[in-house]
Amino acid sequence: MSSQSPSLTTRKPGERIFCFLLVLGSVYLFWQAYKISGFSSLSSPGAFPLAASAAMVLASCITFLNTLKAPAAEDVRFVYHCFPPVVAFIMALILIYSVVLESLGFVLTSFVFLFISIQFLYRRSPLTTLAITLLSLIVVYIIFRLVFQVVLPEGIMPEREILSSITSLWR
């Protein structure tokens, strides 16, 4: 099994650490699976997770050993090829988005998120960005909130009041 990765002859920066973390994670999950019901019986709730996590431990160990043997790839830098700043920035942006989504509400957070990320990635005039942001937000809002009645987090905006006051204009 160990010599089965002919195409992965070199390793990227960070690969060894990643694979080692997977081994650690797998062992932890195996321990957690064991805690469910131990090795009590084949039909216990823990039997299947135990088998799956055992497979993870085994497979991750093999992969890790393979990366130990593989020579480092040349001319590949972690910060440039594997985890460029732009990826980190967007990841951070999404993280912030998901944390504040519930308290600020969907409309506000999405507006800010779209505006910043489009401005950052597309780099046109803020007005163009604003127009694209508003347009796409309106389309998403109509599809999800109005047509499919997914009540998106309202946060600080009294959406339902606004909606009912708008509909009451028609009545």
Partner 1 sequence: MDAFNYFAMSWLSPELLGLTALGTFLGIYVGAIPGLSVTMAVSILISFTFSWDVNYALCLMVGVYMGGVYGGSRTAILLNIPGAPSAIATALDGYPLAKKGLAGEAIGLSTVMSVVGGFVGIIVLAIAAPTVSEFAITFQPRDYMMLGILGIMLVGSLSGSSLARGIFAGALGLLIGTVGLDPMTAEERFTFGVVELWDGINPVAVMIGMFGISEALHQLHHMNKAVVKQKISRIIPKWSDIKKYMPLSLQTSFIGVIVGALPGTGGDIAALMAYDHAKRVTKNPKVPFGEGAKEGLIAPESANNAAVGGAYIPMLTLGIPGDAVTAVFIGALFIHGLNPGPLLLVEQPHMFWFTVGNLTLANIFVLIFGLTGIKLFSKIVECPKGILIPLIFLLSIVGAYAINNAITDIWWMLAFGVFGYFMRLYGFPVGPVILGVILSSLTDENWRRAILTERGSVSDLFINMLHSPLSTVLFSVIVLILFTKSPIWTKWLKRKVFRPSA
Partner 2 sequence: MKKTTIALLAALSLTSSLTLADYPTKDIQGIIQWGAGGSTDTVMRSIAPHVEKELGGDIILTNKTGGVGAIATKYVNAKKADGYTLLMGAENPQMYKILGLSNIDYSDMIAINVLARGTPIIVANNDAPFNTMQELIEYTKAHPGEVKFGSTGPGGLTSIVTAMLDSQVKLNYISIPYNGDGPALTALQGGAIDVMPAVLGATIEQIKAGRMKAISLVDVESNKLLPDLAPITDALPGMKSYLPWGPFFGVFVKKGTPDEAVEKLQAAFQKAAYNKDFVDLMQKRGFTIMNISGKEADYFLEAYRSTSSWLVHDAGFSKFSPEEFGIRKP
Minimum distance from residue 106 beta carbon to partner 2 (Å): 14
Structure tokens at 26: 């797998």
Where in 138-157 is the site for partner 1 (CB under 8 A)? 140, 143-144, 148-153
> Is residue 42 part of the contact set for partner 1 (CB under 8 A)?
yes
> Is residue 134 part of the contact set for partner 1 (CB under 8 A)?
no
Range 36-62 burial, b when 16+ CB lie within 10 A, else e: eeeeeeeeeebbebbeebeebbeebbe
> Is residue 164 part of the contact set for partner 2 (CB under 8 A)?
yes
> Is residue 53 part of the contact set for partner 1 (CB under 8 A)?
yes
Q: Give the range of 29-37, 70-78, 112-120, 150-158 binding partner 2 by CB under 8 A.
A: 150-158
Residue 171 neighbours by CB distance under 10 Å: 5
> Is residue 97 part of the contact set for partner 1 (CB under 8 A)?
yes
Mention every residue, 6+ apart, whose C-beta is less than 8 A from residue 70: 8, 9, 10, 11
